[in-house]
Structure 1
Amino acid sequence: MEAPAGSAFRRTQSFCYIKPGCALGGGSYTAFVARESGFGADQKLDFHRAEHLRPVLIAMIRMENGQQPYTDAQIDAALVRAGVLPPGRPLSQSRTVRGGQAAATGTLGAAAIEAVQETFGPAQDALVGIAPYLDAAKWALLLLTIIGIGVMLWARIDDRRQELR
């Protein structure tokens, strides 16, 4: 079954620009959509481009419902179903990559602490006061690694649940 937002995308694709006094509800509707979307009322738009269609659709939904009942993921999924691909996010901003970065940081940090402990093994008697802190830091970095892996897995599960992958 198609989401209501998907049918709205298909209806709006027949318009080339927002025209004051159009059959969609007159000047107040047009003024609201223009103000909310950031486009001028007479500005020509290409609704086959997500950067034009998405803000207009969100403004139309807000005007017609008085609120925004759809999540960004639902809007993006409706865009895809309508044949309009949303602009891609840089990979470095994805939840999966950020989780991987956290896991890598935790792993490298724990390895560095282990190397420091092995290097100063003979001098450990002099560093007895620091040893508990190094062990605590290793556990904290291990926890960071586990959290990072959890974020990566959750991002994939969440994307699959929302049918984005």
Structure 2
Amino acid sequence: MMKAVRADHEDIDILARTLYGEAEGQNVQDAIAIACVVMNRVSYPNWPDDVSEVCLQPWQFSCWNTNDSNRARITKAKRPDKWFEVCYGIAARAVEGTLTDVTNGSTHYYATYVAKPKWAKKGNKTPVYRVKHKNGYSHLFFNDIDTKPPSTPKEALNQIRPPIGKKDAAGASLAGAGIGLSAIADTLTDVKDQIEPLAQYAAALQYLFLAVALIGIGITVWARIDDRRKGIR
């Protein structure tokens, strides 16, 4: 059984709506597995220890994205909608600690009808649980993803060292731009079969963007040395 957590009716409601939008084809097995992922994240140090905060984290559960068609559907869901009733029951069992973790500690999953996420590509990650859907696709669940992937290049930079002051911010912006643009070059390489005319420039772009990132990092380092010399910090 999963560990019980402190949660109120709002937490259960938000978790139920997450399951309502994320589980494919009103699949109970899928809803249970996704509830397990949420609860595993609540227990994991790199995520909030609050059910609602985990569900509503930006770019994590796509049904809450403002541009996702599911968002309107999940916000309008209410009893006596039978599927919402099922999801609410699963959510209640999850926070009460009476739900068995069928995913073996998974904190991530993705649908096979979308491109494989980068976190699944690194180190040849192997799914520990699979839920097959009637449409022929599946949700694959993983328990060997160590950390929460940064949502943006800026967040990735801030996880290393938060920029302080205007000079640092300028350097960080350039470095962040280099990181973000480099990711675009990586994407061009990944899909070169589809966009062969552009892929031939990927290697050159990577060197260019790396140079931009290094310049930004250099400005940040210089700013810190200059501030230290002036006794600012």
User: What TM-score bracket applies, with the shorter chain setting the length?
Assistant: 0.3 to 0.5
- TM (norm. structure 2) is 0.28
Identify, as 1 or 2, the structure richer in strand. 2
- TM (norm. structure 1) is 0.38
Higher Cα Rg: structure 1 or 2?
1
Identify, as 1 or 2, the structure richer in helix. 1
Greater RCO structure (CA 8 Å; 6+ sep): 1
